């Protein structure tokens, strides 16, 4: 009834190719942005429930946004281009550590040339973007095997990236500025001369990054390059016969994906953790991101957000339910129950809806268009 | 599918709404506990958490709180994971009438992450025997209290004990000492102190990392068999420790030449190894196993009434005792702060003052029922560690036997290191160090 496109005539190609061709979708999207950019900070500023403490912003929304961003990156590679990657944690780490190095200054003495590469400490924003760029390089490097191997074999090859970078950041003290404990601290969050430290400001940083990159990713996958990726995913030989160069398509997918994942890694380190060690980007993180993408829906930007919400937020909520209801069970039972419930929910969802939350969402929209007489 | 999904979503939203209202008790001091009772570190996390909770409950049951202010303890499961620990911290930091009293994460990784957060939230961090060694310097780290000893203290004491076993510090020259460490900030912390000692005493030092969680150590111990070091220092935690001991037995490295840090010197570390563990030595964070006066109170007020978390036969284990001690120091800091700010629930900032002015004299330790477990400790603005002593105990196959007297770490070596490292941290974070001579 409300959600019906009858009467909305498209008179130009631009309208026809718009990101949200239906007016109701556009309105909903603008409302969502307004909610995220205006209402949430306002409620947080005024300390209105549920934004009473800083908990919701600091412990749920900020990590949710950052992991959503990472999931968008992984989705480009896995969902759109069909290259299974288990190295996303490593690319996050590359982003985080490179951003840290750029943020604290780089000095590589080249003794045999009698000179040195010296980069003064850069501000936070360029550091984060350069961190993403370094991750993109690393991604392309480890994407090269994808030209010869596919599927599970590729997953194993990207697993090598995971272990390699885990090792590098643990063992090469240069990356941690020779910190004795191997743990590093993010520099102060200075953006354009302003120090962003309160949870609301941190939330803004993450939200801006996520919005920009999500829109960017959405437009990329709708365009020429995105169609190439999908052609490669659906059948690489057919795509090659149609004139798509696998080298170009696959490596750009690796580059774009790793760039976004790297930026997410830098944000995770700088904005969320503040102080971190390689364990923050372990193989568990790679699996977590892959699960987000699979549960959320392969080949869907929205799916990345839904998957991140499910994998990250649901366990945290479940963890607090017994205590909030006043059920006296010990914390270890609760945390085991959370594992059991989340695990069985994942199995259940994958059985009844193998295409993830994104498919559920589009089914819901289809039904809504026919409402009140859905069939 | 869609319908069931909507039902589930509604249920989830309903549940999260139910989560929202947190009941704040007015005249109670909220004390949060970051615990890990699951995961690969649970064997060590459980007894510690039991000790922490039991002491708080003992204060409530026996004394009716601290000067009439009841404690309101709550646990949050971290699983030793840094991101989960941070989430727990955010969840708990502003609960209760005045917010969290102090945090003790029992994880070096979580300690590092929280060190960045506590100055903004004004909550003290009590990291007894772990965490950033340089956080001893309270001028740069006003919120960290690395009570009783740092990893650098431990490293120094371990070398002193080896020197004593060899018959003098001059005998260290030319010896080989290897460190088998958990490859994380926890395991890496002692390396600078050991390198400093190696330079001073002329022994060869080698650091051998073990990847988290530490169940795979074959190659490390094979390289030890090749190297034949005179002593092996063990910086492990959780399942890593018993694995190290059984691997040492497999390559025939004598167990009495292994010295564990105080986090590798409890029952869960040696019991799984059975007879293989006999002879294994470890540092003591002053205290060891065994029951003291405070245990009698716990027996009387908690265990006999079924209110204790600990099983009766496990009261007196090393990590349980350490949990008790951790809570005792926290409670005494609150008590000290109450003297200045009044007998009511206090904020983290007020309790920080309590920590900084805490003076545990021998008489007070006796009053509290901890006589024999620890030596006096006194904190101040510039010294957030309060003590430099440690002993060594040895597992004889059945129980821990104390085999040494108190050693005092050599502050001549460690103090400059603390100063340098904290100055570096302060410069990196642009912290203006406090002037301790002006603090009251």
For B35, which of A63, A331, A336 is closest by C-beta distance? A331
Mean pLDDT, rounded, of chain A: 90
Question: How far apart are alpha carbons A4 and A45 in whole angstroms?
Answer: 37
Contact at CB, B90 and A331, closer than 8 angstroms: no
Question: Does A321 contact B at CB distance below 8 Å?
Answer: yes
Per-residue confidence (pLDDT) for residue A67, from 0 to 100: 96
Contact at CB, A321 and B430, closer than 8 angstroms: no
Per-residue confidence (pLDDT) for residue B6, from 0 to 100: 67
Contact at CB, B189 and A279, closer than 8 angstroms: no
Question: Chains A and B: how many Cβ contacts under 8 Å?
Answer: 124
Question: Does A196 contact B at CB distance below 8 Å?
Answer: no
Other CB atoms within a 10 A radius of the CB of residue B146 amount to 29
Question: Which residues from chain B sit within 8 angstroms of residue A367, using beta carbons?
Answer: 2
Question: Does B297 contact A at CB distance below 8 Å?
Answer: no
Question: How far apart are alpha carbons A171 and B419 in whole angstroms?
Answer: 25
Per-residue confidence (pLDDT) for residue A63, from 0 to 100: 94
Q: Name the helix (H) or strand (E) containing A26.
A: helix A23-34
Measure the CA angle with vertex A69, ends A68 and A75; round to 5°: 85
Mean pLDDT, rounded, of chain B: 91
Annotate A67-77 with b (16+ C-beta within 10 A) or e (fewer).
Answer: bbbbbbbbbbb
pLDDT digits (tens, 9 = 90+) for A240-287: 999 999 999 999 999 999 999 999 999 999 999 888 988 889 999 999
Question: Which distant-in-sequence residues (6+ apart) come within 8 Å of B412 by Cβ?
Answer: none
Closest CA in chain B for residue A103: B428
Say yes or no to pLDDT of B13 above 80: no
Q: Say which residue the tokens 């002993």 belong to.
A: B391
Percent of chain A clearing pLDDT 70 (strictly above): 99
Q: Structure tokens of A158?
A: 């990207």
Other CB atoms within a 10 A radius of the CB of residue B78 amount to 30
Q: Structure tokens of A222?
A: 């709708």
CA end-to-end span of chain B, whole Å? 66
Closest CA in chain B for residue A178: B192
Contact at CB, A319 and B77, closer than 8 angstroms: yes
For A321, which of B15, B42, B87 is closest by C-beta distance? B15
Phi, then psi, of B175 in degrees rounded to 5:
-80, 165
**How many angstroms separate the CA of residue B88 from the nearest CA in chain A?**
8
Contact at CB, B20 and A335, closer than 8 angstroms: no
Question: Which residues from chain B sit within 8 angstroms of residue A203, using beta carbons?
Answer: none
Question: Does B16 contact A at CB distance below 8 Å?
Answer: yes
Question: Does A211 contact B at CB distance below 8 Å?
Answer: no
Give A150-209 as a 3 state SS string: CHHHHHHHHHHHHHHHHHHHHHCHHHHCCCCCCCEECCCCEECCEECCCHHHHHHHHHHH
Q: Within its chain, how far is the Cα of B272 from the centroid?
A: 22
CA end-to-end span of chain A, whole Å? 15
For B117, which of A274, A318, A331 is closest by C-beta distance? A274
Question: How far apart are alpha carbons A311 and A292 in whole angstroms?
Answer: 6
Per-residue confidence (pLDDT) for residue B17, from 0 to 100: 53
Residues paired with A276 in a beta bridge: A184
Asked whether B100 and B73 are in contact (CB, 8 A), the reply is no
Strands B231-235, A275-276: pairing is unpaired
Question: Does A225 contact B at CB distance below 8 Å?
Answer: no
pLDDT band at B21 (very low <50, low <70, confident <90, very high): very low
Asked whether A70 and A296 are in contact (CB, 8 A), the reply is no
Question: How far apart are alpha carbons A137 and A130 in whole angstroms?
Answer: 11
Closest CA in chain A for residue B194: A180
Give chain B as a 3 state SS string: CHHHHHHHHHHHHHHHHHHCCCCCCCCEEEEEEEECCCCCCHHHHHHHHHHHHHHHHHHHHHHCCECCEEEEEEEEECCCCHHHHHHHHHHHCCCCCCCCCCECCCCHHHHHHHHCCHHHHCCCEECCCCCCHHHHCCCCCCCEECCCCCHHHHHHHHHHHHHHHHCCHHHHCCCEEEEEEECCHHHHCCHHHHHHHHHHHCCEEEEEEECCCCCCCHHHHHHHHHHCCCEEEEECCCCHHHHHHHHHHHHCCCHHHEEECHHHCCHHHHHHHHHHHCCCEEEECCCCCCCCHHHHHHHHHHHCCCCCCCCHHHCCCHHHHHHHHHHHHHHHHHHHHHHHHCCCCCCHHHHHHHHHCCEECHHHHHHHCCECCECCEECCCCCCCCCCEEEEEEECCCCEEECCCCEECCHHHHHHHHHHHHHHHHHHHCCCCCCHHHCC
Q: Structure tokens of B385?
A: 């560690």
Question: Does A11 contact B at CB distance below 8 Å?
Answer: no
Closest CA in chain A for residue B94: A53
Strands B70-77, B258-260: pairing is unpaired
pLDDT digits (tens, 9 = 90+) for B99-146: 999 999 999 889 998 998 999 899 999 999 998 999 999 999 999 999
3-state secondary structure of A123: coil
Query: CATH second-level architecture of B151-286+391-409?
Result: 3-Layer(aba) Sandwich (3.40)
**How many angstroms separate the CA of residue B372 from the nearest CA in chain A?**
33
Tell which residue, B337, B301, B276, has the closest CA to residue B61: B301
- How many residues appear in chain B? 440
Tell which residue, A127, A148, A145, has the closest CA to residue A87: A145
Contact at CB, A276 and B4, closer than 8 angstroms: no
pTM of the full structure = 0.90
Mutation to test the B interface, candidates A323, A332, A342, A358, most B Cβ within 10 Å: A332
pLDDT band at B16 (very low <50, low <70, confident <90, very high): low
Query: CATH second-level architecture of B26-150+289-389+419-438?
Result: 3-Layer(aba) Sandwich (3.40)
Question: How far apart are alpha carbons B20 and A321 in whole angstroms?
Answer: 9
Question: Does B79 contact A at CB distance below 8 Å?
Answer: yes
Highest mean pLDDT among A195-204, B21-30, B242-251: B242-251
Q: Say which residue the tokens 């908990």 belong to.
A: A55
Q: Structure tokens of B91?
A: 């969840």
Question: Which residues from chain A sit within 8 angstroms of residue B191, using beta carbons?
Answer: 180
**How many angstroms separate the CA of residue B383 from the nearest CA in chain A?**
21
Question: How far apart are alpha carbons A48 and A257 in whole angstroms?
Answer: 37
| Domain spans, chain B | 26-150+289-389+419-438, 151-286+391-409
Asked whether A315 and A338 are in contact (CB, 8 A), the reply is yes
Contact at CB, B37 and A330, closer than 8 angstroms: yes
Q: Structure tokens of B198?
A: 């190696």
Question: How far apart are alpha carbons B318 and B326 in whole angstroms?
Answer: 12
**How many angstroms separate the CA of residue B429 from the nearest CA in chain A?**
7
Say yes or no to pLDDT of A3 above 90: no
Tell which residue, B417, B409, B111, has the closest CA to residue B283: B409
Closest CA in chain B for residue A105: B428
Question: Does A367 contact B at CB distance below 8 Å?
Answer: yes
Q: Which of 186-215 (B) contact A at CB < 8 A?
A: 188-189, 191-192, 209, 212
Asked whether B393 and B402 are in contact (CB, 8 A), the reply is yes
* Same fold flag, B26-150+289-389+419-438 and B151-286+391-409: yes
Q: Which of 127-146 (A) contact B at CB < 8 A?
A: none
Angle between helices A331-352 and A283-296 (to 10 degrees): 50
**How many angstroms separate the CA of residue B17 from the nearest CA in chain A?**
9
Phi, then psi, of B282 in degrees rounded to 5:
-150, 155
Question: Which distant-in-sequence residues (6+ apart) come within 8 Å of B243 by Cβ?
Answer: B214, B215, B217, B236
For B19, which of A282, A317, A336 is closest by C-beta distance? A317
pLDDT digits (tens, 9 = 90+) for A76-133: 999 999 999 999 999 999 999 999 999 988 888 887 877 888 888 899 999 999 999 9
Residue A313 DSSP symbol:
I
Per-residue confidence (pLDDT) for residue B212, from 0 to 100: 82
Contact at CB, A59 and B429, closer than 8 angstroms: no
pLDDT digits (tens, 9 = 90+) for B209-243: 998 889 999 999 999 999 999 999 999 999 999 99
Asked whether A189 and A197 are in contact (CB, 8 A), the reply is yes
pLDDT band at B20 (very low <50, low <70, confident <90, very high): very low
pLDDT band at B2 (very low <50, low <70, confident <90, very high): low
**How many angstroms separate the CA of residue B91 from the nearest CA in chain A?**
6
Closest CA in chain A for residue B21: A324
């Amino acid at each position: 009834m409300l959600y019906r496109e009858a009467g909305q005539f498209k008179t130009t190609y631009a309208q026809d190719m718009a990101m949200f061709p239906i007016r109701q979708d556009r309105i909903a999207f603008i409302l969502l942005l307004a909610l995220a950019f205006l209402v949430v900070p306002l409620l947080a500023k005024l300390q209105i429930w549920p934004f009473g403490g800083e908990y919701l912003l600091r412990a749920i929304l900020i990590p949710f946004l950052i992991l959503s961003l990472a999931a968008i990156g992984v989705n480009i590679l896995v969902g759109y281009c069909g290259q299974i990657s288990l190295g996303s944690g490593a690319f996050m780490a590359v982003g985080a550590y490179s951003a840290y190095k750029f943020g604290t200054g780089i000095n590589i003495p080249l003794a045999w040339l009698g000179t040195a590469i010296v980069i003064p400490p850069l501000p936070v924003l360029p550091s984060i973007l350069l961190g993403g760029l370094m991750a993109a390089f690393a991604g392309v490097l480890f994407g090269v095997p994808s030209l010869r191997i596919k599927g599970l074999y590729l997953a194993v090859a990207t697993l090598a990236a995971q272990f390699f970078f885990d090792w590098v950041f643990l063992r090469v003290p240069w990356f941690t500025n020779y910190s004795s404990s191997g743990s590093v601290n993010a520099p102060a969050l200075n953006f354009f001369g302003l120090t962003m430290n309160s949870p609301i400001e941190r939330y803004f940083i993450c939200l801006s990054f996520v919005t920009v990159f999500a829109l960017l990713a959405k437009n990329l996958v709708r365009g020429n390059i995105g169609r190439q990726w999908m052609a490669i995913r659906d059948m690489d030989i057919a795509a090659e016969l149609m004139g798509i160069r696998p080298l170009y398509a696959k490596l750009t997918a690796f580059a774009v994906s790793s760039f976004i994942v790297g930026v997410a890694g830098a944000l995770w380190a700088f904005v969320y953790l503040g102080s971190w060690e390689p364990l923050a980007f372990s193989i568990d993180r790679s699996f977590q991101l892959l699960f987000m993408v699979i549960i959320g829906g392969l080949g869907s930007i929205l799916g990345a957000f839904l998957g991140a919400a499910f994998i990250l937020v649901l366990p945290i909520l479940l963890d607090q339910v017994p205590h909030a209801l006043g059920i006296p069970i010990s914390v270890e039972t609760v945390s085991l129950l959370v594992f059991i419930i989340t695990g069985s929910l994942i199995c259940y969802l994958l059985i009844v809806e193998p295409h993830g939350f994104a498919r559920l969402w589009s089914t819901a929209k289809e039904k809504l268009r026919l409402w009140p007489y859905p069939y | 599918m869609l319908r069931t999904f909507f039902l589930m979503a509604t249920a989830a939203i309903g549940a999260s709404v139910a989560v929202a209202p947190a009941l704040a008790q007015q005249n109670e001091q909220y004390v949060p506990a970051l615990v890990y009772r699951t995961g690969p570190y649970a064997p060590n996390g459980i007894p510690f958490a039991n000790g922490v909770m039991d002491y708080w409950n003992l204060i409530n049951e026996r004394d009716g709180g601290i000067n009439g202010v009841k404690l309101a303890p709550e646990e949050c499961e971290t699983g030793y994971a840094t991101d989960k620990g941070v989430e727990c911290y955010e969840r708990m930091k502003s609960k209760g009438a005045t917010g969290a009293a102090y945090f003790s994460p029992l994880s070096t990784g979580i300690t590092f992450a929280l060190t960045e957060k506590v100055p903004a939230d004004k909550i003290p961090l009590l990291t007894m025997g772990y965490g950033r060694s340089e956080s001893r310097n309270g001028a740069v780290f006003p919120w960290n209290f690395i009570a009783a000893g740092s990893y650098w203290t431990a490293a120094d004491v371990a070398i002193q004990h080896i020197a004593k076993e060899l018959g003098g510090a001059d005998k260290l020259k030319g010896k080989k000492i290897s460190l088998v460490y958990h490859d994380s900030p926890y395991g890496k912390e002692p390396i600078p102190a050991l390198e400093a000692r190696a330079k001073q005493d002329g022994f060869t030092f080698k650091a051998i990392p073990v990847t988290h969680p530490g169940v795979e150590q074959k190659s490390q111990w094979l390289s030890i068999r090749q190297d034949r070091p005179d002593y092996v220092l063990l910086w492990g935690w959780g399942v890593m420790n018993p694995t190290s001991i059984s691997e040492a037995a497999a390559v025939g490295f004598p167990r009495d030449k292994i010295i564990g840090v105080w986090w590798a010197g409890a029952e869960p570390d040696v019991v799984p190894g059975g007879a293989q563990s006999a002879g294994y030595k470890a540092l003591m964070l002053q205290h060891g196993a065994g029951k003291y006066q405070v245990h009698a109170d716990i027996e009387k007020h908690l265990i006999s009434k079924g209110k204790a978390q600990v099983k009766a036969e496990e009261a007196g284990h090393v990590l349980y005792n350490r949990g008790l001690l951790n809570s005792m120091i926290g409670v005494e800091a609150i008590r000290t702060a109450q003297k200045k700010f009044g007998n009511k629930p206090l904020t983290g900032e007020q309790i920080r003052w309590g920590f900084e002015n805490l003076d545990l004299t021998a008489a007070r330790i006796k009053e509290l029922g901890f006589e024999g477990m620890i030596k006096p400790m006194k904190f101040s603005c510039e010294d957030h560690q309060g003590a430099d002593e440690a002993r060594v105990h040895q597992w004889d196959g059945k129980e821990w036997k104390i085999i040494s007297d108190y050693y005092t770490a050599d502050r001549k070596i460690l103090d400059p290191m603390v100063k340098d490292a904290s100055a570096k941290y302060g410069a990196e974070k642009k912290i203006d160090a406090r002037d301790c001579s002006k603090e009251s």
